[in-house]
Amino acid sequence: MSALTNYLKTVLSNAVTMYFTAHGFHWNVEGQDFSQYHALFESIYEDVYSSIDPLAEDIRKLGEYAPFTLSKFIDLRTIEAKDVKPEPKAMAKELLRLNDGMLESIAKAQKEATRADEQGIMNFLAERDDMHKKWRWMLSASTK
């Protein structure tokens, strides 16, 4: 197994974790700013979900099998969601923490994709990095 596929499996597992967390927060958020946070969390989970299939396909393009069981995702992830109250700012802070973990795992995969001269994968990871930086900005602004 190559270092790049290992990093991609981590990014994929982290994306699955962030997706389920953002979707769960979307379902359960309560409070005065419910509508805005409900929409923000939906935007996040839809975006993260859209990255899952391309990540798995990049792993397959490199000749490896993509993980698909929840137990394997749990084993491979480097982020873990914490239970928080269904209060908007607490949920946004938790997603911000998870998003920072996503950015760390993406950065590691980017470095390895560059080293392995996998330009297509590097381009995809650069797009994901940019999107997660947008989520960092939006979540940070939402918690003030």
Sorted by where each begins, the domain ranges of the chain are 3-142
d(CA 101, CA 79): 6
| SS3 of residue 63 by DSSP | coil
- In the prediction, which pLDDT does 32 show? 87
The string of pLDDT tens digits covering residues 101-129 is 999 999 999 999 999 999 999 999 999 99
d(CA 134, CA 122): 18
- In the prediction, which pLDDT does 1 show? 63
d(CA 38, CA 28): 9
**Could you tell me which CATH class the domain 3-142 is placed in?**
mainly alpha
Residues 34, 35, 36, 38, Cα dihedral to 10°: 80
The string of pLDDT tens digits covering residues 21-73 is 999 999 999 998 999 999 999 999 999 999 999 999 999 999 999 999 999 99
